[in-house]
Structure 1
Amino acid sequence: MPRRRRRKRRGTSTAPQVSADAPDQVWAADFQFDVTTDGRPIKIVPIVDERTRECLGDMVERNITGDDVIGELERIAADRGTYPVVLR
C-alpha cells in the first residue's frame, strides 16, 4: 500500500507584526533579479518606506554584495537623519 504524502504546513512567525505608524519606522528592501536583452543578469534592490511608499533608494548593478546594501542603507540613514525601527 502506498504511503500518503504529508501535507506541507505553512509556517507562522513568532515575531509580532510591526506596522508603520509614521515615516522612517519601517523600511523594506526587496532583492530582485532580471536579465538584460543581451542575456546578462542584473540585480535590483529597491528600498521603500512602508508608511509613505517613498522609494528611498535603489541599486541596479550586475553584482551587489551585502556590503553594498549596508553602504546604501547607511547613506539613506545619513540623508534622512535616522535609522528605521524595522528593516524588512
Structure 2
Amino acid sequence: MSTAFIALQDVDEARPLVEAAEKDNDGLQLEHHPAMVRMVRDKEIVIRRETVEEITGRDWEPQDIHLVLISVGGNIDEGDDYFRVYWNN
C-alpha cells in the first residue's frame, strides 16, 4: 500500500489543520521537523472543512491550505468541503 503525506509549515495557521487531520484520519502519524510538520498515513489523508471550523470557531476554505503547504505525496483532490491526498493503488 502506498503512503500519502502532507507537509505543512510549523506555524500557528497550520496547527488547526494538523489537529483536524488527526481527528479525521485514524492511524495518522506526525513527523516534526524544523519549521515543518509532516503528516503520514497509508492510502489517504483528508482534512475536512467542518472539522477545521469546529476547532477554530471560524470559517475555513480548503484552498487556504496552500498558504502553509510545503509538499504532498500522492494525488490531490480538492472540494468545497475537504482537501484530500491519496493513492489509487
Give TM-score scaled by structure 1 length: 0.23
Please identify which structure carries the higher strand content: 2
Q: Which has the larger radius of gyration?
A: 1
The structure with the greater share of residues assigned to helix is 2
Determine which structure has greater relative contact order: mean sequence separation of CA pairs < 8 Å that are 6+ residues apart, divided by chain length: 2
TM-score w.r.t. structure 2 length?
0.23
